[in-house]
Amino acid sequence: MSTPDHPAKTSSESEHEEAGAALRELRRLTDDYVAPEYACNTWRALWDGLRELKIAMHEHVHLENNVLFPRAAALN
């Protein structure tokens, strides 16, 4: 939903796409955030933290796309 009147939205959409690609790569590299049986507690904590980052990023993008951007557009 990019428009020439909202360049920040265009920039954010691009950032969202890049973040999504990075998160997909992390998911692939971590085998869907499943640590191997031989992983130490630090390794497991890292995978848990990456899973939490993924959840937080999805929430962040959802709030921007579905709350912030529509409200900002309504101000014009």
Helices of type H across the chain: 7-29, 41-63, 69-75
Which stretch of 5-9, 13-17, 71-75 has the lowest confidence by average pLDDT?
Answer: 5-9
Q: Write the DSSP symbol of residue 36.
A: -
How far is the C-alpha of 76 from the C-alpha of 61, rounded, in Å? 22
Q: Is 1 a domain residue?
A: no
Q: What pLDDT is recorded for position 72?
A: 86
Q: What pLDDT is recorded for position 73?
A: 85
Q: Is 29 a domain residue?
A: yes
Q: Is the pLDDT of residue 6 over 80?
A: no
Q: Which domain holds residue 61?
A: 7-75
Q: Is 2 a domain residue?
A: no
How far is the C-alpha of 49 from the C-alpha of 13, rounded, in Å? 24
> What is the count of structural domains for the chain?
1
Q: Is 23 a domain residue?
A: yes
Q: What does the pLDDT look like over 38-70, one tens digit per residue? A: 999 999 999 999 999 999 999 999 998 889 888
Q: Is the pLDDT of residue 7 over 70?
A: no
